[in-house]
Each structure stands twice: as C-alpha cells, then as structure tokens.
Amino acid sequence: MNTLLSAAPDMLSEIDKPAVLIVDDDDEIRYSLGRVLGSQGYQIDTAASGEEGIEKIKEGPAPDLIFMDIRMGGISGIETLQHMRSANSNLQVILMTAFGTAQTAIEAMKFGAYDYIMKPFDPEKVIELARSAILATQDLKSVDSYQTKTNIEDYKEGIVGNSPAMQEVFKIMGQVAASDATVLITGQSGSGKELIANGIYQHSLRSGGPYMAVNCAAIPENLIESELFGHEKGSFTGATSQRIGKFEQCDRGTIFLDEIGDMSLATQTKILRVLQDGEIQRVGGSETIKVDVRVIAATNKDLESMVEEKTFREDLYYRLNVFRIRVPSLVERHEDIPDIVDFMLQKLVRERKAKATKLSADAMNALCQYSWPGNVRELGNVVYHSAVVAQGEAILLKDLPETILKAVESKPASSTASDSDSAAASSSETASSGSSESSVPISSIPPSPSAPIGARSLPEAFDLIYQRLKEREGRRILGIIEKQMIKRAIEDTGGNQARAAEILGITRNTLKKRLDEYAAEEQARFQ
C-alpha cells in the first residue's frame, strides 16, 4: 500500500504541471529550493539575478509562481517585483528574506507580493505556501472570462437585483411611488430597507421636496422627540435656543423613520397624531404646527407580535401599514449576488477606494454559497475588504475574509443546495448537468476554455480530465480515474479502509481487492 501511495502520480498535477521560477543570487538556495519544489512535481526554472528574472518574464510564458530573494546583487527583489508586476499584474510572487522587519513586510505586500518567508525556510512551509499560491494562480486564470453585467448608471438608487423576489418589490414600489400613501418596509437588518425607501422617494411626486432619514434606534429616548418635532428655548436643560425638528424641515417632502419598532410608546402617540391630523407640537411649546409630510417607516422587528404584547400601538401599526413592502434577505435571492458584487466594485472604483474590478469564478462561487446573516450590508463590507487586499485588478478566493472561507468550507453540500434552489434553477448549467453537485449556485462568470481544472465546476472538470486522458491514455481512462479516486480516499482517511470504502460507495472487500491488485502491479513493475 505504501508503494502505491508513493509511486502513483497525482492525476491533476500530471495533467497540469505548474511552472515555478526561482530568482536568487545564491546557488545553494536555488538548488535546495528547486529540489523541494521539484519533488512536488513542479517544473523548475531559475534566475541568478533580478535582471535575469525580468528577462525570463518578458520572454514568456509566465510562470505560475515565482520565489524571489529580496536582497540580491544588482536590483533588489522589491524592485524586481515592481518591474515584473508592471509587465504582468497577474504574477504570484513569494519573496524570501533573512531579515524580517516591519519595513520588509509592508513593502512586500504593498507592491503586490503574494507572501514572504524567512530564511532558512522550512520545506513543509514552502510546499504549503507554493500550493496555496498555485491555487491562486489557477483561480486568477478564470478572471479572463469575467464580463461586467451591470451598468452603474442604471442603478442610481443603488438597488440591484433581477431575482423574482426583488421584481415583486419593484412592482410594489412602482405602485406606491405615485401616491402619498404611508409605506411600511420590513425585512432583516442590512437587507436594504433604506435603499427601498429612497427609491420610493426618488420616483414619487415629492422627489423635488426634502427627504430625511432618521434612525430611531440610534437616538436616545429623551432626545428623539426633540429630533423629530423640535423644541422651544428653555424647554429642558441644554435647550439654549429654538430648534426646528425633522418633520418641519421635511414639510412638503418625505421622512424615513428607520427602526420604528424601537420607538417608545410616548413618541408613537405623537407620530400617530402627525399621520392622523398632520400636526406637531415642539417640545416645551403650545403652538400647533401644520406639516405636510409623507412617512415611510421600516423595521426589522415583528410589529404584529409587538402589538399583541402591547409594546407597539395597534392604531399606529394600521396607520403605517397602508402599503407593506417586505425586502427579501440575501439568502432568498442568491442569484442577485453577482450583479450586486459587480455594482459594488464599479462604485468603489469610481470613488477611488479600490482598484479591483473583477472577481475570479472561485471567489464568486464562495460568495454565492455563504449564508450572509448580515445581508447586503455584510456583502458590501466583504467586497470592500477584498477589493482593498486584492493585489491586482481581480479579487481571488484568497482575498476573501477568513470567516467567509471557513463558513463555505464547513457548509454541507446538501444545505448549500437547499439554500439556493432558486439560484440553481435559474442556471442553465444546472439545468443541463443533472448533477446534485451543480445545485450549488453557479457564478455568472463562466470559466474560459483555457481555465484550469480548479476554476471549473465539477462536470466541466471531469469533462476536461476525460478529454486529456483520452488523448494520452487511450482506452485506460476508467482504470486510471478509479485508481486515483481510491488513492485519494485512502489518503483522506489516513489509511482507514473502512472509512475510505464508505466514502467511495463500495464494500470494504472490493476496496481491499483493488488495493491488492494495485500492489501487485507495482511489484511487477520492479521485477
């Protein structure tokens, strides 16, 4: 069995052998590092100086990964890195140094290094880092097929989505926009309720008038009445002058009361008076002031339950709930994620907050599989973070926050499929494949014909493997794939044959028979 594991070639590395360039003026380093990486099946090329490394990049083809010393005779590794990435921004470069300082780390990452390691290096660490960087390179190749789908000019309100759930929201927005009816917007925190309110205002007859948004949960209870209705001079400690409240400021306009479920019963009573009579009184004042204000309210709370518990006025609830718009959570409209991400990236670039304009297929698939408890707001934070840390014009899988990667890795395939039925159903790839694995949301970024196996969906990956093995091996395809799957299962379970057989869906006796056959083949090769 040990002979099998050590002698059997890795199927994917046999098909796509990554090329690694080692740039160092130390002969011993080039030799030892070349041996370590060569033992993993990588194609090794070397350069004795930064200048020679730059020439090799110019001559092409570009290597999948570069290991490069920082301190060399001639131009330094940092300078070489800058030259290389100006010629090819997709290069993955790992810098090596014997002098680990804050300056070194900052400069290395500032100019786009994938990572840097200290000399003398641990071979296992080198191998692990190389594998990670190679995956990033493969991920990057899928970016070539990225096509911008949204035109930022078409989404002036920032509301993006073509899913059936969002189309229903848009229909109701259109129905209420031309009226002065009160609107209640419900939905989870971060789902975009304020964007919906602003969209209604922008398309309303009051769009030429003032618009103000008030977060009721962010204002202390003793100040919210003053904020909304204003106060008279001397009405309370600190009231040194008269203040005009939001309702007066929004006369003939629209006010958006966000998180209205957090409002006290006393304030609710005054809001009810505004809705019924169009009148307010400033705090500490006796004058009744007429106002003409349209009210749009929003909450992430269950107002019906609060009415039953007597923590929200029933009469106010019915006054607010003239039109109800429920904003779906992001998990209910996973198919909108590619368009939302695309819109966010374009906006960041326009505002000069980030340079990344694209996503790799693997990165997009990870975003589509995540459950997004923080909804669109959380997605926006993740996109901003990833666009800032991205080393080039594309966000790769490695650029996503660790919390996203861990959540996606630990998510069972069955739950991913059930969470994303609507997204999967709308995908032509899913409809045609008939595979349970492809019920995972498929990104709007299809892999290019030259994309590596790691950038493809499962059916595409197997199709590529089949085609390449057919060209090379002729009629032995099934046997080769079976052997590799058994090898992987044995490795994955640490040699536990019972568990490996369970994963493969075969009996333990069948597995043992296959292993004996492979061992006999190996023994015959050396006789």
Render each residue's pLDDT in the chain as its tens digit; 527 residues: 333 333 334 444 444 578 999 999 999 999 999 999 998 889 999 999 999 999 998 887 889 999 999 888 889 888 999 888 888 877 889 998 877 667 767 777 878 888 888 888 888 989 999 998 888 887 777 675 556 666 666 667 788 888 889 999 999 999 998 899 999 999 999 999 999 999 999 999 999 999 999 999 999 888 999 999 999 988 888 888 999 999 999 999 999 999 999 999 999 999 999 999 999 999 988 889 999 999 999 999 999 999 999 999 999 999 999 999 999 999 999 899 998 999 999 889 888 888 888 888 889 989 999 999 999 999 999 999 999 988 778 899 989 999 998 888 876 544 433 343 433 333 333 333 333 333 233 233 334 334 444 444 556 666 667 666 666 555 567 778 888 889 888 888 878 888 888 888 888 878 888 888 888 777 665 55
**Which pair of tokens denotes residue 69?**
């010393």
List of residues 6+ apart from 427 with CB closer than 8 A: 335, 438, 441, 442
Hey, how many other C-beta atoms are within 10 angstroms of the C-beta on 472? Answer: 12
Determine the straight-line distance between the first and last CA of the chain, rounded to whole angstroms.
Answer: 17
φ, ψ for residue 320, nearest 5 deg: -75, -35
Question: Using CA atoms, how far apart are residues 22 and 44, in angstroms rounded to an integer?
Answer: 7
3-state secondary structure of 521: helix
| Tally of residues, the chain | 527
Hey, how many other C-beta atoms are within 10 angstroms of the C-beta on 251? Answer: 16
Hey, how many other C-beta atoms are within 10 angstroms of the C-beta on 32? Answer: 16
Cis peptide before 441 (omega within 30 of 0): no
What is the set of domains in the chain, with CATH numbers? 17-140 (3.40.50.2300), 167-327 (3.40.50.300), 331-424+431-451 (1.10.8.60), 459-525 (1.10.10)
List of residues 6+ apart from 422 with CB closer than 8 A: 163, 164, 165, 332, 333, 334, 335
Amino acid residing at 10: D
pTM over 0.85: no
**Which pair of tokens denotes residue 193?**
């309720």
